Amino acid sequence: MSSPNPDATSYGQINYTISETAQRPAGHACLVDASLEAFKNLCEWFVVATTSDGQRRICTKKNFQRVLLVDILAGLLRAEDELQVHSKRKDGRWVESFPSLRGFALQHRKLRVAYEPVWTHAATGARWGVVAGVSVAILNAMIFYSMTDPWVAVCLGASALVAFVPRFGSRIAPFVFGSLGLMGKVAPAFGILTAIIIFAILGGLPGMTIGGAIGWVREEKLPRAPDAPAEGGFVAVKALVLPLVGWLLAWSVFALVVYPWAARIVGSSSPGLLPK
């Protein structure tokens, strides 16, 4: 099955190419079934959408957000349209689900922005803020423990590096860090985890505020689905005011309660490291 044009099939000539994105005219059910079976031999996940003008998109993980977003913004796909999501299980069986386009889009950032641009920017900002906060906590812990207990710093650094290994890194990293428990260093491990959680909060909340502010300012210029409902005034409260108030409260608790307590604990156990 081949065609000089991999993305189109004419009514007069039934040629079909298995590619990342495929289109077909309405009324060729057997052609589509054959295409789905061919895709099952090429990948482990794909999504099928039928546009309002009768063309069918078959998209893989590599390009489904880009392809569907173009159709959403053009009005060829509506929020209530049903998608077909095909996924292969570990036992080799294929399962199908039929979510609505809007429900499916809300699970993927590049599609969600067409329906909830302000909140999507706020969520993205929160994610980057958490990454920044966790990075600061890890770097601070590595610097501190490199002077007091190098083995803790080595395990922490190794865990952070392993986390970047594709596919399996995030699963292995906790075990590398957990080796501190086998070495009897439970207290440092607990302290590092606490610091990571605290800095994740201190980074995520302002990150959400900044992202929400960017989305709110650019709301009129951002591409939006023709049938997307307005987010309403409450989105400003949810994406700007609440995270800002939460950050101020969290920072106050950290600066006035958590940090002085941690400084006293570290200072008493490691004299000379902190000013008295």
In the chain, what percentage of residues exceed pLDDT 70? 84
The token duo for 175 is 């075990």
List the domain boundaries for the chain: 29-111, 117-269
Residue-level pLDDT at 170: 80
Q: What are 187-225's pLDDT values in tens digits?
A: 888 889 989 999 999 999 999 999 999 988 888 888 888
